[in-house]
Amino acid sequence: MKIAILGFGTVGSGVYDIIANGDTRMRVTAIFIRPTHPATMPEMTTDLDAILNDPTIDVIVETMGGLHPAHDYILQALQHGKHVVTANKAVVAKYLPEFTAVAAQHHVQFYFEATTGGGIPWIRNLERAARIDQIDTIEGIFNGTSNYILDQMQRAHLDFDPVLLAAKDMGYAEADPSADIDGEDVVNKLKISAALAYNMAPPRDVPTFGIRNVSKADIDFFASQHQVLRLIGKSKRDGDHYSMVVEPRLYSETALAANTFENFNLIRLHGQTIGDLQFYGQGAGKYPTANAIVQDLYDILENAPHLDRSFDQPLHFDANLNVTDYVLRADPMTFAMFNDRETEIVNDRLVIKQIPTGNMHKLMRGVLAIDADAFMAAIGDSELAAKDVLHQRDQEVIG
């Protein structure tokens, strides 16, 4: 099987390394680079048309990232009868139904395991579960960069800015880390996951609040309450309604999520017959992501089809499907916005009881208009806290 790689950055070079040192049934014969990139290898070319029109190339691996020109390149590759494998979560989250339809029209495959969960085999196992079950919950730590930042702030007692700088130095964060710390990266991964789980086109807008405003004082306060902060993506389905949200969430220090350290991910699904399945592993990095791409290449090589989805299930998005407690750190003058809610003040922070998620995010936009440094977090109530139950049982046995 002959392969062309579009883009030769961190992930693209990782794919090349694995193939070059692995199965001889695969070979990279072309690497597309931009004109500004020096051609340092004989496979490198700036001529995309030559790749598309080469009948010997079976698969195109897209690792350029971003929406454009990736969208056009992927469509052209599929239309030229070539399988496509990508790690580009942004373009897949926006155009997944289109890519899948075009691939089917031209009798080729479009695979994207590497978009979500890094080296974790999340997409493949989500597809397997969805073949049998109705999936009603997807939830987890989807972003290794944000998890590394929150973990280091908690365990090393550091401020946000130096930890972010360290994340950049280690290659976890990009020069512009906005997608990671503002939650957009998690939104894309959650959209892809929900689209597969529910067989529907995801919504354009998802309630999102990131970790840009979290402070050491926040982390220290949560620690004093035996709570650990994580950035979580969550989707829930109830009949023909579903919700999606990305937000910081607090967990007991004994919870599984609280014990997911460094740049690791922890993602869970719940199905009617399978119950809970949880997946843990490296959420980012050159070789974990490249490994996921090569797994897709093997599926193409060995003719192992993935779940066939039409993404046409008529579900209704409901931002208020979830109701939970929130803690808010902001200028006290903003607390009046919540006068119609049951609240209490704890250490100068407002705890809002049982408020619908969509309403809280809408009110938070008003809070930020007054206090641009305000921060909020949901209070965990999920199965990612399952370790708490075991801890309680241990204590009962000991007692």
Task: Render the burial of 156-182: b for 16+ CB within 10 Å, e for the rest.
Answer: eebebeebbebbeeeebbeeebebbbb
Residue 329 has pLDDT above 60, yes or no: yes
This prediction's pTM = 0.93
Residue 118 has pLDDT above 90, yes or no: no
Do the Cβ atoms of 268 and 125 come closer than 8 Å? no
Residue 391 has pLDDT above 80, yes or no: no
For the residues 347-364, what does the mean pLDDT come to? Answer: 97
Q: What whole-number distance in Å separates Cα of residue 319 and Cα of residue 167?
A: 32
Residue 303: the pLDDT is: 96
Do the Cβ atoms of 203 and 235 come closer than 8 Å? no
User: What rounded mean pLDDT belongs to the chain?
Assistant: 93
> Of 57, 39, 66, 75, nearest to 3 (Cα)?
57
Q: What whole-number distance in Å separates Cα of residue 297 and Cα of residue 15?
A: 10
> Of 366, 374, 293, nearest to 336 (Cα)?
366
Name the active-site residue from 82, 89, 94, 189. 189
Residue 4 has pLDDT above 80, yes or no: yes
Percent of the chain having pLDDT more than 90?
A: 89
Going 14 to 18 to 21 to 26, the CA torsion angle's sign is: negative
Q: What whole-number distance in Å separates Cα of residue 391 and Cα of residue 399?
A: 12
Pair type for strands 135-141 and 227-238: antiparallel
Residue 363 has pLDDT above 90, yes or no: yes
Residue 381: the pLDDT is: 61
Tell me: the pLDDT tens digits for 156-175? 999 999 999 999 988 788 88
Please give the C-alpha separations between residue 193 and each of 137, 223, 234, 356, in angstroms, as whole numbers: 10, 31, 10, 23
For the residues 35-50, what does the mean pLDDT come to? Answer: 94
Q: Answer yes or no: 189 catalytic.
A: yes
Residue 282: the pLDDT is: 86
